[in-house]
Structure 1
Amino acid sequence: MSFLSKALRTLEVPVSERETLSVLQNPDLQPIKPQYRIWGFWSNFGYWGIISLSMVTWLSASSSLSLGLNVREIIGAYILGDLLTLAFTLANSYPGTDWHIGYTVCQRISFGIYGSGLGILVRVLLSIVNAGSNAWMGGLATSLLLSAWSPSYMNMSNTFSPGIAMTRRDFVGFIIFQIICALCYLIKPHKMNIPLVTSCFSCFFAMLGMVIFLVNKADGYGDLFTLETELKGSKRAWTWVYIITIWFSSVSPGSTNQADYSRFASSKTKLWAGTVLALLIPTTVVPLFGVIGASCTKAAYGEQMWVPTDIVLYWLNQHYDAATRCAATFIAFAFIYSQVCLNVVTCGFAGGMDLAGVLPKYINIRRGALITTALSFAVQPWNFYNTSSSFLTVMSSFGVITTPIISIIVCDYFIIRKGKYRISHAFKIKDSDYYYTWGVNWRAMVAFVCATAPGLPGMAWQINNHYFSNAQGIINFYYGDTFFAFLISFFIYWGLCLWKPVTITQEVDKKDYYNAMTGKELVKYGVEPCDEKSLNSSDEVEQISTHLEESKINRILHRFHK
């Protein structure tokens, strides 16, 4: 064996004797077994709740207010955006809950064994961008915590150039936060449920305490709530649509790879209940907290502060006493905890799951998460929060690319395949139903391009308003891209599948090759157990065998009658 072969063998993902490793498969990509499906109501609430109970959502209303609507209208648009997000997310959760597979495998089934690379690449890039963004905010919280502990750290001199949009103090906090996240990748993804739930509660009470203090300090809610919009007619209506699009786009990466975490759910009912409440309550309350904070700081301190850590730093600069330092420590810890959970689960692990599908022999979830974290430095996230416009541009651009992917997966699962996957064919090339044409499902590719292309000129206009400034139709399409892109990709893909149907040689596997199904699921899909020892009892084996035999007889009789 050559030196290169030995080196590559050393780099391979470690597996046990009973686990499979190939160019398309490692244990992290296979359907997860029942003992790992432990996420109940609170776990699913925590997963989606942490997206809202974070520093980014606190300051999200600042960008929306710059568009000209008043606070009431913004919150109303957010609620409509939540309902749209719920529809997309819950529909996209079924491959995970039904077949216990993640986003990478869904991509192989819908886009083809090789065509899946497109959706995986998109999701990896979004994970890297979001990882940088969340880590920067977490770094600010880390810097706040160290400032509460050490006055010399808080007053650290800035040796960076004025052209760099950060201070040395905040950069140190950013590096420390990234190290904390890297250590958290030692935890298994399905075991992050308890940290998610506890971080949601700690962050909520920290935010609530800040708001109560600020309202008392300002003797009211300030004047932001009294501002009225000057927008009229269609301009006002399209701004509503745009805010809905922004709101969905900001969470669309999580909706896109929903299967990665819906596969951990212990039941669909608990998944639905937890997700619905998390996407309706915190997403409404936290932006309101941000508006109240900015309005009250303007009234009390003469300066409108949107970033929550800036508010606490102001308190420390005014009164560096024991009480203020104690409050700052609790608030900073709560923000660090929530940002760590948010970054690890929705960015690090998500990127790791996707990268595991690129090189399964050499990358598992943990290694992929570390790669995602390392690459997040390259996006220079400290520039995201310079102005509301740059933040808005980043948020509103995600949906242009992610919405068609969600739409195609949903159409393929419910309309084309009627909720049935042949999982083993997602891990093979030769004679695979999901190989399509040279490994690519051209129907999905055409639908994706047709839905994505119309939104690209609007993205260019958002970056530089001199482009297409006189083409209001292009701008309006971009504003409503979430609605338009979903419908375009959905119906084009459906139409192409009607014109040139996909080949389905067999709807589901004959056996549960991955021991991932419960007894009820084996009966539901007419699948035989691969390993009878994995079942609960001999009675269950006999019951399943009886049901399978009855279903075979019924199919034979049905064909005979035809």
Structure 2
Amino acid sequence: MSFSSIVSKFLRYLEIPAKNRTAVNFLRNPDLQPIKSENQTWGFWSNLAYWGAVSFTAGTWMSGSAALSVGLSYPETIVSFLLGNVLTIIFTMANSYPGYDWKIGFTLAQRFVFGIYGSAFGIIIRILMSIVNYGSNAWLGGLSINMILDSWSHHYLHLPNTLSPSVAMTTKQLVGFIIFHVLTALCYFMKPYHMNYLLIWSCVATCFAMLGIVIYLTKNAHGVGELFTSTKSTVTGSKRAWAWVYMISYWFGSISPGSTNQSDYSRFGSSNLAIWTGSVCAILIPATLVPIFGVISASTCDKLYGKQFWMPMDIFDYWLTNNYSAGARAGAFFCGLCFTMSQMSSTISNCGFATGMDMAGLLPKYVDIKRGALFCACISWACLPWNFYNSSSTFLTVMSSFGVVMTPIIAVMICDNFLIRKRQYSITNAFILKGEYYFTKGVNWRAIVAWVCGMAPGLPGIAWEVNNNYFHDSGIVKFFMVILSSPF
């Protein structure tokens, strides 16, 4: 048997069963078509929980630590986060209309903007972003799993590390990481429009867990701590103003990838009012409060224990290590369960299912949403996410700068929708190869050029984020800070 015949046989084996698909090309398949009315069930609480799941996570809790490197006081940082959330609301809701109006997702909407073939451009960029974010979220989820296991066994709490010292993780962290991946993979057997119940319950549970941690710490510290109340800006004048701009852009850039695929989930909405009110409340309230919780916890821990713990997992590890009591174990178990749920919800909705939807649009003959999500989970290991948190890697800082790449895509989509098309699209032509959206050989080069013009000026800023010594041109750096959140 020849090599080509072996490959052909293998590809036939990988094909989605014919009963589960209606097309063998990327023009038309069930995952691309508008959502049926019976599946448009997401009301206020479901839409609030979708964005709430992004906020009620350990990553958002830790985000206040960025203030230390910028020089703003903690109260100033909180206000800058609030302004960043307002900016996020504007971009997110403006980018929701393909889902509002036509009940279609990000994948099909890309054809309107970049063309039938050119749509692969924006889709692939988002797939790559989702894979990296998946690894980062899964690592924090693994640490949450360890909170549960630590509460069950004193021996597991002090599990010896059998991995090489050159590996930036321990045996215990690897165990939690694997368990989290397995539990998350099971969730991909449900339909995306059914995950709203998981999102709602995870938000409710994690909200109470976070409140419990903050209340306990502030009660024992008799306040929020001097670090929170007495911290002053270490920069003045124009440097202080630019620090404000940077923090707003940093926060917006951190969550802008979620704004990109807003139409993937706004199409599940039962009404436009539910989508608007739920999304706005979630972005404005939890996304502002959770970083405040993180700052307060670090401030109170500094007063109580002489250490600033930014990760909630580190707080419980300290408690269990110093006092393995029934109360500490119960707190670690229930809070660990809540944080695990929140990390799973965020990972599934913003990374797993998002990748599955995109890959199902590109390769429907071989990939459906479930397979695409599982592919994202598997390939996320290649990102080595343990290096993001356990080494001196600048990757997390650079990740926040990827708004330079993502927000121009959002800007092009918004301009095309409101200024060029006036919210009028031909859905039928999106499924025709040489129809209205074929443009030039299947690619809308004008949209590509617009994206490049919006992105290219900010690329030197990403290099500066990696190493501040690359250059000392303050004009380029300031331009990067502005363009990060203003690609129009």
* Counterpart residue number, 1:164: 167
Q: Does 1:49 align with 2:74?
A: no
Aligned in 2, Cα 1:10/1:213: closer, same or farther, shift over 3 Å?
same
Indicate the SS of the match to 1:217. Answer: helix
Give the Å deviation of 1:327: 1.2
**Secondary structure, in 3 states, of the residue corresponding to 1:484?**
coil
Q: In structure 2, which of residues 324, 328, 334 is the aligned counterpart of residue 324 of structure 1?
A: 328
Partner of 2:15: 12
**Percent same amino acid among aligned pairs?**
54
In 2, Cα distance between the equivalents of 1:344 and 1:454? 33
Provide the secondary structure at the position in 2 that maps to 1:177: helix
Q: Could you list the per-position Cα deviations for residues 196-248 of structure 1 after superposition, in whole angstroms to 9, with x for gaps in the alignment? A: 01100100111111111111222221122211002112111111111111111
The match for 1:396 is 400
Which residue of 2 is the match for residue 186 of structure 1?
189
Q: 1:99-114 residue pairs with structure 2 within 5 A?
A: 99-114=102-117
Q: 2:292 aligns to what?
A: 288
Change (3 A) 1:202 1:300: same
Give CA-to-partner distance per residue, 1:62-114, whole Å, 9 cap, x none: 12332110011111111111111000000000001111111111111100111
C-alpha distance in structure 2 between counterparts of 1:386 and 1:63, whole Å: 17
One of 263, 266, 274 as aligned partner of 2:267 = 263
Paired amino acid for 2:288: T
**CA distance in 1: counterparts of 2:450 and 2:260, whole angstroms:** 16
Q: Residue 536 of structure 1 corresponds to which residue in structure 2?
A: none
Contact 1:80–1:244 under 8 Å retained in 2? yes
Q: Does residue 40 of structure 1 match 2:22?
A: no
Compute the displacement of 1:155 (Å).
Answer: 0.8
> Which of these residues, 118, 121, 125, is aligned with residue 122 of structure 1?
125
Alignment partner of 1:440 out of 438, 443, 449: 443
CA deviation profile, 1:433-459 (whole Å, cap 9, x unmatched): 111101110110100111111111110
**1:25 paired residue number:** 28
Greater relative contact order (Cα < 8 A, sep 6+) = 2
- CA pair 327-420 structure 1, distance change in 2 beyond 3 A: same
Code of the aligned partner of 2:267: R
1:464 — aligned with what?
Answer: 467
1:62 aligns with 2:65: yes
Tell me how many residue pairs correspond in the alignment.
484
Distance 2:442 2:91 in 1: 27
Choose from 480, 483, 486 the match for 2:482. 480
Number of the residue aligned with 1:304: 308
**Cα distance, 1:159 vs structure 2:** 1.9
Amino acid at match of 1:396: S
The normalised TM-score by structure 1 is: 0.83
| Equivalence map 1:42-441=2 (5 Å) | 42-225=45-228, 226-386=230-390, 390=394, 392-429=396-433, 431-441=434-444
| Residue 392 of structure 1: how far off its partner (Å) | 4.6
The 1-side partners of 2:393 and 2:23 are apart by 48
Q: In 2, are the aligned partners of 1:297 and 1:303 still within 8 Å (CA)?
A: yes
- Quote the RMSD (CA, aligned, Å): 1.7
Shift of 1:484: 3.5
8 Å Cα contact 1:63-1:388 kept in structure 2: no
> Considering only CA atoms, is the larger Rg found in Structure 1 or Structure 2?
1
Which blocks of at least 5 consecutive residues in structure 1 are unaligned? 488-562
Q: 1:366 to 1:21 in 2, by over 3 A?
A: same
Residues in 1 aligned to 2:391 and 2:176: alpha-carbon distance in whole angstroms: 21
Per-residue CA deviations over 1:469-509 (Å, capped at 9, x if unaligned) read: 2x111101111123432x1xxxxxxxxxxxxxxxxxxxxxx
Deviations 1:392-419 (A, max 9, x none): 5233222001111001111111111111
Q: 1:327 to 1:5 in 2, by over 3 A?
A: same
